[in-house]
């Protein structure tokens, strides 16, 4: 590899390695501000202008905290588990474009991506991001704490359950675009706003977002760390910088999910009236990157709002949502895409199909909840039956 090919790669890696920890650091600040907005409070506003240095002060405080390791813990795995989740989250970002990446880009030009041109980029991302569950599972087991172990077991069941609808939800888009490359899927939406995948696959977008949110362990899906039942769950025994690594991985996963929603369903860096991005750090390319960042910020804000809007599920409800709700809907949606493709019909046929499936799924869920909440009539006692009273 020549230096002309190497410097754009090293530059992209350096930018990601500097920006991701900064985003994770300030996501706590943004989340506290969003919580204050929802709850009619001020939020952090004392350290620095508008409270912007509060995240830095929190980082310094955590770095100076004592590193406590339980005496009976498996020390090697206990120390390495937080890093596994973070490494998996960072590896997933390698195939996520954060700006326009033309397919015919010449050598020696800066790229808004670490590894462009990966034909199976979407498959690689799904495979690598799921490895973050190992960090949680190993951390819970190595802590030698029953609450941590219960949280790890819950996490394993949750990850396995929601990986299925997550993968099924994007197969329709892959079938229409004809590629597993994220850049190729974005390019298939470049013709205009009506060509964005969310218009003809709204049900797939809902399933994908819900499943991805469940894999980030965010409310209302944060059952592996449910404080009412499991104290801190898998990270009960962690403190200091090891504790921070778990949540840096979580916030990194949130940003990755937001990028995927914007890239797969919201047209990526395309927007009506904005010219096609040119190669390199040109004005149109930077404008396209800003459009993508704005879309990502909107998805992140929606995820943060959900935490302070919806209550936490029970674990049986969490599993039921995946196996009884999302997986059947995702399979039905995929079957509809296959039928439309086989018959050569327009993909817009999937819009009423998605709406019909969503309504049918909601009606079935309402019936199941009604039956579950309906009291069972008491059985008449035997002596009343004999006497002819019952």
Does 352 map to a domain? no
pLDDT tens-digit series, residues 55-91? 888 888 888 888 888 888 888 888 888 888 888 888 8
pLDDT tens-digit series, residues 197-221? 999 899 999 999 999 888 887 778 8
Structure-block tokens of residue 60: 């310094």
Least reliable range by pLDDT among 10-24, 78-92, 224-238: 224-238
Is residue 268 exposed (0-12), middle (13-18) or buried (19+ Cβ within 10 Å)? buried
Does 366 map to a domain? no
Does 272 map to a domain? yes
Least reliable range by pLDDT among 189-193, 218-222, 252-256, 348-352: 218-222
Does 192 map to a domain? yes
Measured between alpha carbons, how far is 352 from 336 in angstroms, rounded to an integer?
11
- Cis status, amide bond into 220, omega within 30 of 0: yes
Place of tokens 């790229």: 111
* pLDDT score of 227: 63
Higher pLDDT, 379 or 353: 353
Q: What is the DSSP letter of 323?
A: I
- How many structural domains does the chain have? 1
**pLDDT above 70 coverage of the chain, percent:** 86
Does 267 map to a domain? yes
Measured between alpha carbons, how far is 180 from 123 in angstroms, rounded to an integer?
7
pLDDT tens-digit series, residues 241-276? 888 888 888 888 888 899 999 999 998 888 887 776
- Mean pLDDT throughout 290-310? 89
Does 270 map to a domain? yes
What residues have CB less than 8 Å from 111, skipping those under 6 apart? Answer: 8, 9, 12, 101, 105
- For 350-371, the DSSP string reads HHHHHHHHHHHHHHHHHHHHHH
Does 360 map to a domain? no
Domain that holds residue 26: 3-315
Residue 357 above 90 pLDDT? Answer: no
pLDDT tens-digit series, residues 120-133? 888 888 888 888 88
Q: Is the Cβ–Cβ distance between 136 and 80 less than 8 Å? A: no
Does 331 map to a domain? no
* pLDDT score of 298: 92
pLDDT tens-digit series, residues 324-344? 889 999 999 999 998 988 888
């Amino acid at each position: 590899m020549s230096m002309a090919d190497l410097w754009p790669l090293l530059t992209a890696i350096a930018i990601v390695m500097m920006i991701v920890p900064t985003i994770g650091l300030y996501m706590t600040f943004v989340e506290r501000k969003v919580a204050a907005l929802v709850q009619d409070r001020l939020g952090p506003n004392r350290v620095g202008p508008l409270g912007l240095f509060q995240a830095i002060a929190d980082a310094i405080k955590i770095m100076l905290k004592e590193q406590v390791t339980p005496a009976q813990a498996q020390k090697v795995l206990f120390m390495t588990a937080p890093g596994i989740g973070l490494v998996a989250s960072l590896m997933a970002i390698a195939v996520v474009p954060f700006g326009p990446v033309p397919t015919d880009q010449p050598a020696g030009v800066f790229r808004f991506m670490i590894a462009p041109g990966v034909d199976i980029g979407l498959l690689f991302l799904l495979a690598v991001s799921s490895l973050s569950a190992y960090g949680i599972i190993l951390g819970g087991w190595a802590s030698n704490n029953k609450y941590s172990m219960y949280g790890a077991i819950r996490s394993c069941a949750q990850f396995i359950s929601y990986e299925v609808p997550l993968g099924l939800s994007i197969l329709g888009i892959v079938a229409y675009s004809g590629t597993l490359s994220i850049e190729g899927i974005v390019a298939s939406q470049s013709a205009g706003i009506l060509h964005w995948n969310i218009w003809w696959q709204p049900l797939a977008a809902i399933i994908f977002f819900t499943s991805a949110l469940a894999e980030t362990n965010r409310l209302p899906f944060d059952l592996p760390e449910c404080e009412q039942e499991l104290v801190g769950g898998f990270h009960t025994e962690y403190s200091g910088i090891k504790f921070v690594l778990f949540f840096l991985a979580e916030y990194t996963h949130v940003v990755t999910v937001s990028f995927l929603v914007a890239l797969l369903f919201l047209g990526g860096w395309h927007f009506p009236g904005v010219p096609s991005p040119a190669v390199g750090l040109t004005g149109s390319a930077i404008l396209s990157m800003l459009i993508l960042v704005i879309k990502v910020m909107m998805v992140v804000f929606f995820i943060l709002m959900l935490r302070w809007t919806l209550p936490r599920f029970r674990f049986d409800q969490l599993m039921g949502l995946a196996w009884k709700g999302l997986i059947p809907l995702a399979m039905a949606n995929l079957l509809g895409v296959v039928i439309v493709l086989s018959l050569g019909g327009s993909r817009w046929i999937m819009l009423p199909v998605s709406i019909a499936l969503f309504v049918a799924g909601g009606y079935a869920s309402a019936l199941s909840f009604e039956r579950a909440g309906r009291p069972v009539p008491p059985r008449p006692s035997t002596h009343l039956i004999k006497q002819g009273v019952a």
